[in-house]
Amino acid sequence: MTPGYHEMKDMPFTYNADDGLLYSSPCRGVWNIVHYGLLVPEGHQIYVCPTSCLRGVVLTTAEMGAMDHLSTITVGEDNILNGDMEEELLHGTEKILNTLKKRPRMVMIFTSCIHHFLAVNYQRVYKLLRKEYPDIDFIDCYMDPIMRRKIPADPSLRRQILRVLKKAPKDPKRCSFVGNCFPMNEYCDIYQHLVSNGIAISDLTTMKNYDEFRLMETSSVNFTFHRKADWAGKDLEIRLQQRWVSLHNGYDYDRIDADMERASESMGIPAPREEEIRRQRELTDRALDHCREALAGTPVSLDYTAVENPLELALFLIERGFHVESVLIDSIVESKEVFEALQKRAPHLKVYSSLDPSMRQVLRSHEGKIVAIGQKSAYFNDTDYFVNLTENAGMYGYRGIRRLMALVEEAAAKKKPMRDLVQHKGWHAGPSFEDLCEMERRREAGNV
Amino acid sequence: MSDWHVHVFTSTYAADVSGVCSAMYELGGMTVLHDPSGCNSTYTTHDEPRWYDSDSQMFVSGLDELTAVYGDDNVVVDNVTRAAKALNPRFITLCGASIPHIIAFDFKGVARLIEEKTGLPVLPVPTDGLRLYTSGVGLAQRAFLRRFGVHSAEKRKGAVNLLGVTPIDFSRQEIVDAMKEALTARGYTVNACFSMGDSFEKLTKASEAEVNVVVSSAGFLPAKYLQAKYHMPYVVGTPIGKKMGDALSDAISKAMGTGENVSAVSPAEEDSADLLIIGEEVLSKSLARAIALETGERCRVLFPDPDEGIDEDRLLSMIGKARTVIADPLYRPAVETQGATLIPLPHEGYSGRIYRALIPVFCGDGFDISAFLLGGCS
């Protein structure tokens, strides 16, 4: 990539790219609220917005082949002039529910920016709907980017979905993983530790039915792995008195151990023994050495869509002898300690913002091979050698680090069709276009 | 009770803001969508097939709550000015979605302020995010002509302009090229194609043509503007297949001779027809005429209203009266529910990029209507 970057030494800790005009790159792997809402088994989403806002959510759903789980109520000029947003919301929802072939157990109703500005009393409507359909859980959800600085839609949804959970007797042997998009299991230390100690785990990403979802209210502890899940964890702690343990999805060994100890204590189980910790550390060190040797000095670029703490990962890799050349971030989410350590350790590290308008015309290329961790770093470096993942992809702790190293090695050895992969909306959320077109061809062939 | 607002299972058409961005995409300008965020990635992901391979400038203003409440237009003025100075576009287009609309954002005034600060022409296109893309394309093309259109005293004999051309309806350049070829093969010259494949300079000389051809309903607004300003008649129709190409050619010839507007398309309602076409108005009516000319079969047409889209109840009712439906594959569930057969004809304006690979080159003499009716897009 040609200029458009700042050197790490010049970055202010308060940096935030959401300041000015914003550019939208073709990389679409990060999940949006539609993807997350579709995790709810037996759920149905209703979006109430003007056409311009509806288009994105409807086609997200269509691309997942999940149109039977989403309906819309278009806000028109007539609604604005007549001031009948509440009536439209009520009657529209009734019509949708009375038309659907299968009764949903949960209905998520998303209002939009325009509802805030017209002071729509949607809570009144939900009250009426709850009375009319007592067998359905209605959730007020929000697709209102105008409020993004105070109440971003994504963390809000991860909290709102869980608002249906009621206070229930706690099961000391049950916990929940809250607010993650991908199953936290094979590559997650906490999962392995809890399961081996007989703890049952509720995780929305693996649920098959709504009853399983409601079982989350019996959990004693909720674990979160992402900042976007913090509101959900805190809300459940206040409302249901379920203990909230926020786990730092980072790379500092001591911090991983401390988190494991906290998690174990919260569930009343023993923490991993010292020899186990030692074994995990050794295995992880070996994986890092192996990966570094496999890369043989090949530069690495990484971005914030791939991992929760991109600067921390950059620091970790640099300390382990990797050649990290650039990082793409839109704000700084790490602690000041990590930030300053990276500034000291890698003052010339290139830092790009993917939102800045100048990135539209940056030369997307890299002289020589580069391995990217994340879609945006792959796109802007124009490299097919990349790890295709978003939001940590179910990785946590030592196992997570080892998995990441394996993926980096694999990426360095084998090209991927970057152009096609990064444009797919919602990583691992639905079929590819090729699949959808093939399906359409087959359906058509059946008619001919 | 029927209510156009409610869509239980059907998709939605591209919005006016996407239409503006799409119409301006190839002209070297910077399009700024005044909106919090979301509309921009919707456009770049679903409505703009050229996004990955080019570096055209389209950005969102990132309007936030406080800026909207205070009505602080300096924020957008300063931000656009800063970006324009860095990226040096040829001109700037300013459009907006629903929040600027309800806070009565002064597109014209703000455009003027940005123009003063940057020294660049700034085109205000007051969209509201509530209407369909056809409205946005039309407003943008008219704004371009108003600002940059050059009056020509001399007409180029046999020259026509194509109005309402964007990838939202025509997907790929090869489809537009086939449309142009259908006209040049019949002795006409395509003076300017608004807005795919032609340069900024070419489009400024629209008034050199004798006749405008409205090839999608997005073209009506610029056509009416050009008629009022330069007394240019317009013809409605798209050359889909050989016989429709001939019919359109006859209509253009008539318009050139009489100076009157001429329509080459079928009417929407043919009550007894078994075949229903769902899609953009002019394209669907042109396809209906093409089918009538090629096979003798009559068709009904259902097209979205720019304000209301397609009412789902009316959709089901019309499909219920049809035996066969030509429509985007996303209409398949509705078609099959009513026991009809779908002939898929994907439309970027409806299903976005999903079925792009299945969109046939539906313009020009090479499009075989009979084969299409038998085999759809496979």
B336 in contact with A, Cβ within 8 Å: no
The predicted model gives B219-234 an average pLDDT of 97
- Domain residue spans in chain B? 16-148, 159-263, 275-375
How many residues are listed for chain B in this entry? 378
Torsion sign across C-alpha atoms B76, B77, B80, B86:
negative
The answer to whether B33 and B97 have CB atoms below 8 angstroms apart is yes
Q: What is the CATH number of domain B159-263?
A: 3.40.50.1980
Hey, which residues does B161 pair with through a beta bridge?
Answer: B192, B212
Return d(Cα A427, Cα A388) in angstroms, integer.
Answer: 8
User: What is the pLDDT at residue A354?
Assistant: 87
Strands B189-193 and B234-236, by their bridges, are unpaired
Return d(Cα A426, Cα B78) in angstroms, integer.
Answer: 34
B324 in contact with A, Cβ within 8 Å: no
**DSSP letter string, A386-447:** EE--SGGGG-BHHHHHHHHHHHHHHHHHS---HHHHHHSSSTTSS--HHHHHHHHHHHHHHH
Return d(Cα A356, Cα A4) in angstroms, integer.
Answer: 9
Cβ within 8 Å, pair A71-B9: yes
Return d(Cα A292, Cα A299) in angstroms, integer.
Answer: 10
Return d(Cα A403, Cα B117) in angstroms, integer.
Answer: 52
- Residue A300, min C-alpha distance to chain B (Å): 23
The set of residues, in sequence order, having a beta carbon less than 8 Å from that of A22 and lying 6+ positions away, is: A355, A357, B37, B40, B59, B60, B61, B62
Number of H helices, E strands in chain A: 18, 14
Return d(Cα B144, Cα B189) in angstroms, integer.
Answer: 22
Cβ within 8 Å, pair B41-A24: yes
How many residues are listed for chain A in this entry? 448
Cβ within 8 Å, pair B128-A100: no
Listed by number, the residues of chain A in 53-72 with a beta carbon closer than 8 Å to a beta carbon of chain B are 53-56, 58-59, 62-63, 67-68, 71-72
Percentage of chain A beyond pLDDT 70 is 99
B125 in contact with A, Cβ within 8 Å: no
The model's pLDDT over B78-97, given as tens digits with 9 standing for 90+, comes to 999 999 999 999 999 999 99
Q: Which two tokens stand for residue A145?
A: 């980017």
C-beta atoms surrounding B46 within 10 Å? 26
Which of B2, B3, B8, B85 would you mutate first to test chain A, the one with the most A CBs within 10 A?
Answer: B8
Q: How confident is the model at residue A431 (pLDDT cuts 50, 70, 90)?
A: confident
ipTM: 0.95
The predicted model gives A280-288 an average pLDDT of 98
What DSSP character marks residue A359? G
Q: What is the CATH number of domain B16-148?
A: 3.40.50.1980
Q: How confident is the model at residue A323 (pLDDT cuts 50, 70, 90)?
A: very high
Q: Look at residue A250 and tell me whether its pLDDT is greater than 70.
A: yes
User: What is the pLDDT at residue B355?
Assistant: 95
Q: How confident is the model at residue A149 (pLDDT cuts 50, 70, 90)?
A: confident
Q: How confident is the model at residue B159 (pLDDT cuts 50, 70, 90)?
A: very high
> Which residue in this structure is represented by tokens 């199953």?
A183
CA B111 to each of CA B76, B85, B126: distance values in angstroms, whole numbers, following the listed order? 10, 15, 11
Q: Go through the domains of chain A in sequence order and give each one's CATH number.
A: 6-22+286-423 (3.40.50), 33-164 (3.40.50.1980), 171-274 (3.40.50.1980)
- Residue B168, min C-alpha distance to chain A (Å): 13
The set of residues, in sequence order, having a beta carbon less than 8 Å from that of A152 and lying 6+ positions away, is: none
User: What is the pLDDT at residue B1?
Assistant: 64
The answer to whether B196 and B170 have CB atoms below 8 angstroms apart is yes
- Residue B100, min C-alpha distance to chain A (Å): 10
Return d(Cα A22, Cα A3) in angstroms, integer.
Answer: 18
Question: Which one-letter amino acid corresponds to residue B61?
Answer: S
CA A347 to each of CA A287, A315, A392, B111, B345: distance values in angstroms, whole numbers, following the listed order? 27, 11, 26, 42, 55
The model's pLDDT over B286-313, given as tens digits with 9 standing for 90+, comes to 999 999 999 999 999 999 999 999 999 9
User: What is the pLDDT at residue A361?
Assistant: 86
Q: How confident is the model at residue A448 (pLDDT cuts 50, 70, 90)?
A: very low
The model's pLDDT over A4-60, given as tens digits with 9 standing for 90+, comes to 789 999 999 999 888 899 999 999 999 999 999 999 999 999 999 999 999 999 999
Please give the mean pLDDT across all residues of chain A.
95
Q: Look at residue A438 and tell me whether its pLDDT is greater than 90.
A: no
Q: Look at residue A348 and tell me whether its pLDDT is greater than 60.
A: yes
| CA nearest to A386, candidates A346, A355, A422, A334 | A422
Return d(Cα A51, Cα B12) in angstroms, integer.
Answer: 7
Q: Look at residue A130 and tell me whether its pLDDT is greater than 80.
A: yes
Cβ within 8 Å, pair B42-A52: yes
- Residue B8, min C-alpha distance to chain A (Å): 5
CA-derived radius of gyration, chain B: 21
* H or E stretch covering A218: none
User: What is the pLDDT at residue A340?
Assistant: 97
**DSSP letter string, B53-69:** T---EEEE----HHHHH
The model's pLDDT over B161-182, given as tens digits with 9 standing for 90+, comes to 999 999 999 999 999 999 999 9
Instruction: Give the residue from chain A lying closest to B1, CA to CA.
Output: A95
Return d(Cα A277, Cα A311) in angstroms, integer.
Answer: 25
Q: Look at residue A227 and tell me whether its pLDDT is greater than 70.
A: yes
Q: Which two tokens stand for residue B238?
A: 């798209």
Which residues from chain B sit within 8 angstroms of residue A361, using beta carbons? Answer: 55, 57, 87
A79 in contact with B, Cβ within 8 Å: yes
Q: Do B159-263 and B275-375 fold alike per CATH? A: yes
Q: Look at residue A447 and tell me whether its pLDDT is greater than 90.
A: no
B3 in contact with A, Cβ within 8 Å: yes
Return d(Cα B114, Cα B106) in angstroms, integer.
Answer: 12
C-beta atoms surrounding B374 within 10 Å? 10
Please give the mean pLDDT across all residues of chain B.
95
Q: Which two tokens stand for residue A49?
A: 């917005």
Q: Which two tokens stand for residue A298?
A: 């090949």
Contacts for A291-296 with beta carbons within 8 Å, 24 or more apart? Answer: A291/A322, A291/A405, A291/A406, A291/A408, A291/A409, A292/A320, A292/A321, A292/A322, A294/A409, A294/A412, A294/A413, A295/A322, A295/A323, A295/A371, A295/A408, A295/A409, A295/A412
The model's pLDDT over B35-48, given as tens digits with 9 standing for 90+, comes to 998 888 999 999 99
The model's pLDDT over A354-391, given as tens digits with 9 standing for 90+, comes to 899 989 988 888 999 999 999 999 999 999 999 999 99
| CA nearest to B95, candidates B56, B135, B64 | B135
The model's pLDDT over A183-213, given as tens digits with 9 standing for 90+, comes to 999 999 999 999 999 999 999 999 999 999 9
| CA nearest to B136, candidates B97, B89, B92, B175 | B97
The answer to whether B327 and B278 have CB atoms below 8 angstroms apart is yes
The answer to whether B212 and B226 have CB atoms below 8 angstroms apart is yes
Return d(Cα A1, Cα A365) in angstroms, integer.
Answer: 5
Give strand ranges (E) for chain B. Answer: 6-7, 30-34, 57-60, 92-96, 122-125, 159-163, 189-193, 211-214, 234-236, 262-263, 275-278, 299-302, 324-327, 341-344
| Of the candidate ranges A110-119, B154-163, B171-180, the one whose mean pLDDT is the lowest | A110-119
Which residues from chain B sit within 8 angstroms of residue A143, using beta carbons? Answer: 38
Return d(Cα B359, Cα B378) in angstroms, integer.
Answer: 9
The model's pLDDT over B354-371, given as tens digits with 9 standing for 90+, comes to 999 999 999 999 999 999
Hey, which residues does A244 pair with through a beta bridge?
Answer: A222
CA A46 to each of CA A162, A331, B40, B190: distance values in angstroms, whole numbers, following the listed order? 17, 31, 22, 46
Q: pTM of the prediction?
A: 0.95
Listed by number, the residues of chain B in 10-49 with a beta carbon closer than 8 Å to a beta carbon of chain A are 11-18, 32, 35-42, 44-47
Backbone torsion region of residue B277, taken as left when φ is above 0, otherwise alpha when ψ lies between -120 and 50, otherwise beta: beta
Return d(Cα B303, Cα B283) in angstroms, integer.
Answer: 10
Return d(Cα B320, Cα B338) in angstroms, integer.
Answer: 5
| CA nearest to A113, candidates A150, A159, A155, A78 | A150
User: What is the pLDDT at residue A441?
Assistant: 84
Q: Which CATH number fits domain B275-375: 2.30.30, 3.10.100, 3.40.50, 1.10.3470?
A: 3.40.50
Who among B64, B80, B308 is closest to A76 (CB)?
B308
Q: Look at residue A445 and tell me whether its pLDDT is greater than 90.
A: no
Who among B52, B64, B344 is closest to A419 (CB)?
B52
Which residues from chain A sit within 8 angstroms of residue B89, using beta carbons? Answer: none
B373 in contact with A, Cβ within 8 Å: no
Return d(Cα B262, Cα B282) in angstroms, integer.
Answer: 13
C-beta atoms surrounding A16 within 10 Å? 13
The answer to whether B200 and B28 have CB atoms below 8 angstroms apart is yes
User: What is the pLDDT at residue B375?
Assistant: 75
The set of residues, in sequence order, having a beta carbon less than 8 Å from that of B97 and lying 6+ positions away, is: A50, A52, A53, B15, B17, B33, B34, B35, B39, B127, B128, B129
Return d(Cα B18, Cα A56) in angstroms, integer.
Answer: 11
The predicted model gives A419-431 an average pLDDT of 91
The model's pLDDT over B309-328, given as tens digits with 9 standing for 90+, comes to 999 999 999 999 999 999 99
The predicted model gives A66-95 an average pLDDT of 95
Q: Which two tokens stand for residue B358?
A: 């299945």
